[in-house]
Amino acid sequence: MELGGYSGAMSDDDELDVELEARLEEAEEFEPPEAFVEQANVTDESIYEEFEENWPDAWERAADLLDWDEDYDQVLDDSEAPFYEWFTGGSLNASANCVDRHLDERGDEPAIEWVGELGEERTYTYEELHREVNEFAAVLREQGVEEDDVVTMYMPMIPELPIAMLACARIGAPHAVVFAGFSADALATRMNAADSEHLITCDGYYRRGDALEHLDKAEEGLEQVDQAVDTIVVDRLEDDFDHELGPNQSDYHDLLADQEGAEVEPVERDAEDMLFLMYTSGTTGKPKGVKHTTGGYLAYTAWTSHAVLDIKSEDTYWCSADIGWITGHSYIVYGPLALGTTSVMYEGTPDYPEKDRMWEIVDDHDVTQLYTAPTAIRAFMKWGQEYPDKHDLSSLRLLGTVGEPINPRAWKWYYKHIGNESCPVVDTWWQTETGGMMITTLPAVKNMKPGSAGPPLPGIDARIVDESGNEVDAGRAGYLTVNNPWPGMLRTLYKNDERFISEYWNEYSDPDEDEWIYFPEDGAKIDEDGYITVLGRVDDVINVSGHRLGTMEIESAIVGVSGVAEAAVVGGDHEMKGEAVYTYVITEDGYEGDEDLRQEIIESVEDSIGPIARPEAVVFTHELPKTRSGKIMRRLLEDIANGDDLGNTSTLRNPEVVEEIAEKVQGD
């Protein structure tokens, strides 16, 4: 791991800035609104102590939110650490927990309220969800899907996606959802890595009112998949787009009709059996297949949905993320449905047809909790308060944010203009790997401090340390670590235990003492009250609009273009996206860094990852700034992208190139 990638927060000057900033932020604190506290799920501060004194058994509280087929014998088995196991000996089924067990009391209540891009709406009551999940589980069986077969889903935000996930869970087939915005290549890489022989996708979907083709992209991906694949296609666009099914392709609704009324007994899964795989970006070019299990993950997402999002079954809760990312898995599908609530799902973009789309949905559906991302909040702020002002948002009781640091200004705007100063805001830090929220305020218990996520949740031992692992003083920048396991944690990287250890457990652990410390690869600082402000990634991962992208993956897409000799990709600050992709490219002799090449580079990145990775800038240069030992100085390239002071560059092998590149960037 390269600590040099850290955007400067460890240097002396920045240290000072960080401290000043911290003091300013600490000046403001907001108490939990009284009306909220009166009705909250968790109100007693002693819960922190209880977890501390009674750890790990206190986690039974999370397991108690679920129905178990077989009780577990042990809360935590740490005998093979860091391959921890939770609720061992227990068995359950996630689909039964998210659907069947709510039928008696909530069968006629909505489980999913889906809002389409064109304004159409579809509601699935728990009864209806149960029916379709069962029928589709029968379809999967009929298609030869067996327990433990990985089923890939490459689908946008349509109800068939959570239905397919729950159907998989019902028969014990782990799902691997690939974000629909990812490219054909990205789909193929993931299907190959997971040896997946089943794909569920759709003909297309709507974006800004236009029908967008999707099946061609899926088919293009399949051409690069090594194994034979059976594909099920949902007809989302109906008459707006004709598609023909090829060999090994079947229509979702036809298959469903064949299984009308079918019931499939939920398969009893061991607590530690895999529920799903989720691929995410890391330091190297190869995406990591994060493995989550049935018992611990479901207990953890249900518990955090209850304690942090304050979800009750009669709520109408809305998380505006995409199910293609972990946020959607944990907090649109599994956590909320495990609690039997109504989960709103929106297909489209927040500014179509108008910039008040979100507020219209909140108003129409009487949404009680809204969980969104800082990048969206920055956009709302820019569009202006007249859009939320047009609507009655008084149904809202709690607001949440996730994905990247939120600056205090955006936080306050959200609190004031969306929450009317009467909804607590939970700024939740977590990751694909953690399965659920780790650091945030318990909304009825702790004061809020804009810009700081808050203290670690009860039972979570998060600390801020220096490079040698010693805890740093309040206000100083350091590295975030998690010193105790938790039920929602990833169990391993799919078929790669070694990489699991080297990615997360090598930096601060002491294997000889059997002491294991999880390293999330984020920088952070802590204040006197134990509130943690997460500063951002310290590895070669950048965060574009709350989406995690690996710079190595982007670099390898660029060096694949003929005429490119070398490339370096860094994240530069971006007003709306948080970070944007900056690429520095050296051309081969005989090639010119012209507009054509620039276009080819951009296309290659979009083809290998997707439009989200589209470079903000492509800077051609004849050299990259390197250390004497030949390492590219990424931090310097970040500073250049941000227009920051470049400081002393005299220790470089080629200091003269720095000014040259900086001039080019500023000229762009």
Q: Which residues bind ligand WT7 (CB under 6 A)?
A: 280, 326-327, 402-405, 427-432, 453, 520, 522, 534, 536-537, 543, 546, 548
Does the N-terminal peptide bond of residue 655 adopt cis geometry, omega within 30 degrees of 0?
A: no
Shortest Å, Cβ 327 to ligand WT7: 4
Shortest Å distance, C-beta 474 to ligand WT7: 18
Q: Which helix (H) or strand (E) holds 269?
A: strand 269-270
Q: Cis ω on the peptide bond leading into residue 443 (within 30° of 0)?
A: no
Q: How far apart are CA 310 and CA 432, in angstroms?
A: 21
Residue 440 CB, shortest distance to ligand WT7, in Å, is 7
Work out how close the CB of 493 gets to ligand WT7 at its nearest, in angstroms, rounded to a whole number: 13
Residues forming beta bridges with residue 265, ordered by sequence position: none
Q: Nearest Cα to 84, choosing from 412, 488, 542, 394?
A: 488
Q: Which is nearer to ligand WT7, 264 or 554 (CB)?
A: 554
* Beta carbon nearer to ligand WT7, 264 or 438: 438
**409 C-beta neighbours (distance < 10 Å), count:** 13
Burial of 121 (0-12, 13-18, 19+ CB in 10 A): exposed
Nearer to ligand WT7, 374 or 615 (CB): 374
Strands 198-202 and 151-153: parallel
Query: In terms of CB distance, is 327 or 341 closer to ligand WT7?
Result: 327
Output 535 or 658, the one with its CB closest to ligand WT7. 535
Residue 252 or 479 having the CB closest to ligand WT7: 479
Query: Which DSSP string do the residues of 21-71 spell out, in sequence order?
Result: HHHHHHT--BPPPHHHHHH-S---THHHHHHHHTTTGGGHHHHTTS--SB-
Cβ-based nearer residue to ligand WT7, 171 or 437: 437
How far apart (Å, rounded) are the C-alpha atoms in residues 614 and 605? 6
User: Which residue's structure tokens are 């235990």?
Assistant: 497
What one-character-per-residue DSSP string does 490-506 give? Answer: --EETT-HHHHHHHHTT
Q: What is the smallest separation between the CB atom of 406 and ligand WT7, expressed in angstroms?
A: 7
**Cβ proximity to ligand WT7, 211 vs 308, nearer residue:** 308
Integer CA distances (angstroms), 504 to 8, 35, 349, 437, 499, in order: 22, 41, 35, 18, 8
Rounded least distance, CB 579 to ligand WT7, Å: 10
Contact 106, 313 (CB under 8 A): yes
Q: Is 86 or 429 the residue whose CB approaches ligand WT7 more closely?
A: 429
- Shortest reach from residue 95's CB to ligand WT7, in Å: 23
Nearer to ligand WT7, 221 or 328 (CB): 328
Q: How far is the CB of 492 from ligand WT7 (least distance, A)?
A: 16
Smallest distance, ligand WT7 to C-beta of residue 52, A = 23
**Cβ 472 to ligand WT7, closest distance in Å?**
18
Nearer to ligand WT7, 91 or 301 (CB): 301
The H-assigned helical ranges of 273-350 are: 294-307, 326-328, 335-338
Q: How far is the CB of 535 from ligand WT7 (least distance, A)?
A: 8
Of residues 134 and 432, the one with the C-beta less far from ligand WT7:
432
Q: Which amino acid, 408?
A: P
- Integer angstrom CA distances of residue 39 from 310, 335, 447: 9, 20, 17
d(CA 526, CA 524): 7
CB of 399 to ligand WT7, least distance (A): 13
CB 447 within 8 A of CB 31: yes
Closest approach of ligand WT7 to the CB of residue 370, in Å:
15
Residue nearer to ligand WT7 on the CB measure, 280 or 509? 280
Long-range contacts of 500-508 (CB under 8 A, 24+ apart): 500/82, 501/82, 503/282, 503/283, 503/288, 504/82, 504/433, 505/82, 506/1, 507/1, 507/479, 508/465, 508/469, 508/481
Alpha carbon distance 145, 420 (integer Å): 49
* Alpha carbon of residue 200 to chain centroid: 21
